[in-house]
Amino acid sequence: LHSRILRVMAGHVVVIGSINADLVVSVDHLPAPGQTVVGGRFAVHHGGKGANGAIAAARAGARVTMIAAAGTDDHGEHGIAALEEEGVDVSRVRRVEGEPTGVALIVVGRRGENQIALAPGANASLELDADDRALIGEAEVILTNHEIPQATVLDALRAAHDGGTLAILNPAPAHALPAEVLSLGPILTPNEHELVVAIGNDETGPALDELAIRNHGPVIVTQGPAGALLADRDRRQRFSGYPAASAVDTTGAGDTFCGVLAAWLADGRALPDAITAANAAGALSVGAAGARAGMPGREEIEGLVEAGGPE
């Protein structure tokens, strides 16, 4: 297992999400439309918002089960093996004949910013069965996202609601949120772009006000190095970010935030404490190339939190 995994696992997190291969080109600057940027460095990394979040949760000390779909190709084989190496239970991962594993084409600029195009492949075929729903109902926390079919996301949220399981929905990639999702009250973790798309309002402040009223659970707007903003019908609370020593690659920072948030909540921590830990983990994660290379373990997260963030 990864050296940074806490050996004593805590609460159970079930992740319903994507497994991808990330094909990454690092360049001096991101290309404009129609422009070719020459001189980049190429690398292949394991990815997928679901798999990234699962590994972030596992490194943070949670017991993690992954519900996902991958192709029978090499990307699928290696992606599943990478999850197993991190201690993630992959017994609920399907191998889909005739479909490739999802692939993300990622361009990373010198300040860590990125552009991403995604071909979902086998992720688009994921559906839940009765055993999946039962597992969701038995977990402390579930985590899901929009790289799988919307019907599957809704099915997972219903199963969590019926079983009394805390649900986190990372509404990424950006997608309008239907009324039934909001009625089920998941914790939502949009960034500012995903926030305005989720509610159909181009102004961030009014969009957050509307989403906080309409959603039956908390909304956490992630803001990168600026931290995060927690909102619900009765409160607004800002959490300062933790400045990264150097931002090499921001790919997966939001997934790290969500995975650590899930792990802390599964361990019975209060939501503000979980957000603080997730902020610290997100800052640590951007210091290495690839979505997972910089993902911290629990001791690293707690160390940064104890050291204190910005004044």
Please tell me the total number of residues recorded for the chain in this structure: 311
Q: Sheet holding 20-26: strands in order across? A: 41-47, 20-26, 102-108, 114-119
Q: Is 155 a catalytic residue?
A: no
CA–CA gap between residue 97 and residue 185 (Å, rounded): 35
C-alpha distances in angstroms, 29 versus 109, 148, 204? 5, 30, 27
Q: How many CA atoms lie within 13 A of 19 on its CB side?
A: 34
User: Which of these is catalytic: 73, 255, 267, 273?
Assistant: 255
CA–CA gap between residue 235 and residue 210 (Å, rounded): 13
- The answer to whether the CB of 135 falls within 8 A of the CB of 52 is no
CA–CA gap between residue 90 and residue 174 (Å, rounded): 27
Q: What is the token pair recorded at 179?
A: 């009324």
Smallest Cα–Cα separation from 69: which of 140, 147, 130?
A: 147
Residue 283's contacts (CB-CB under 8 Å, 6 or more residues apart) are: 225, 241, 242, 243, 244, 304
CA–CA gap between residue 212 and residue 214 (Å, rounded): 6
- The answer to whether the CB of 187 falls within 8 A of the CB of 222 is no
Q: What is the token pair recorded at 229?
A: 């903003």
Q: What is the token pair recorded at 1?
A: 């297992």
Catalytically annotated residues: 255
